[in-house]
Amino acid sequence: MSSPLVLTIGHSTRELPAFIDLLTENGVTCLVDVRTVPRSRTNPQFNRDTLPDALGAAGIDYLHLPGLGGLRRARPDSPNMGWRNASFRGYADYMGTQEFAENLERLLALAARERVALMCAEAVPWRCHRSLIGDALLTRGCSVADIMGTGRTQPHALTSWAVVNGTEITYPPADERPAR
C-alpha cells in the first residue's frame, strides 16, 4: 500500500471560487483547517461560519483541527533554537507534546481514507506552520505536497536543519547539529 498524500494550501487573499477550484483540481475531498482561530478579518470568505457550506456545495468536507493550530509559545529551554522565528520555535516545541501527536494521528487516519488538504492563511508554506506539520508527516511515511497555484504543486522537503530520530524532530542551532 502506498503512503497517503497530504496536500497543504494557504488561502491568502484568493477569491473563494478560485480557492475551491484549486482544491477540486487536486482531488481534495476534505479540507482540514489548521488555523487556531478559524476566521479572517480581511478575507471573511474563509471564516468558519461560512466556509464549510461553500466547500460542501463543491463536495468537499471541512474539519477544523485546532490541535494542529499555530500560535504556540516557545519554551525557555527549547531544543529548537535553530528557528530564529519565535513562533516557529514555539510550534516546533509543541510538536514534542502528546497533544500534537494525538492530533497528527487523527490527521493521518483521515488521510488514509480521504484526499486531505491542510489549510492556513499564509500563501507560501515556508512562512507557515504547515511546513512543520509537513516535516512531521514525512517522518511518519506520508507524502506531502504544497498547492502553489493552478496546475502547480511542489513536494514538501524536510527542513534542511531538522534532526530526526524516529518520529521526533528537533531543529537545533548550527553548532549543535550532528555532522551529515
Cα 109 to Cα 31, 112, 176: the distances in Å are 14, 5, 34
Per-residue cell: 43: 478575507
Q: What is the pLDDT along the chain (180 residues), one digit of tens a residue?
A: 578 999 999 999 999 999 999 999 999 999 999 999 999 999 999 999 999 999 999 999 999 999 999 999 999 999 999 999 999 999 999 999 999 999 999 999 999 999 999 999 999 999 999 999 999 999 999 999 999 999 999 999 999 999 999 999 999 998 888 876
pTM for the complete prediction?
A: 0.95
Do the beta carbons of residue 55 and residue 62 sit within 8 Å? Answer: yes
Could you give all domains of the chain from N- to C-terminal order, each with its CATH number? 5-176 (3.40.1010.10)
For residue 175, the model assigns a pLDDT of: 85
Do the beta carbons of residue 106 and residue 6 sit within 8 Å? Answer: no
For residue 1, the model assigns a pLDDT of: 54
pLDDT, one tens digit per residue, over 5-43 is 999 999 999 999 999 999 999 999 999 999 999 999 999
For residue 176, the model assigns a pLDDT of: 82
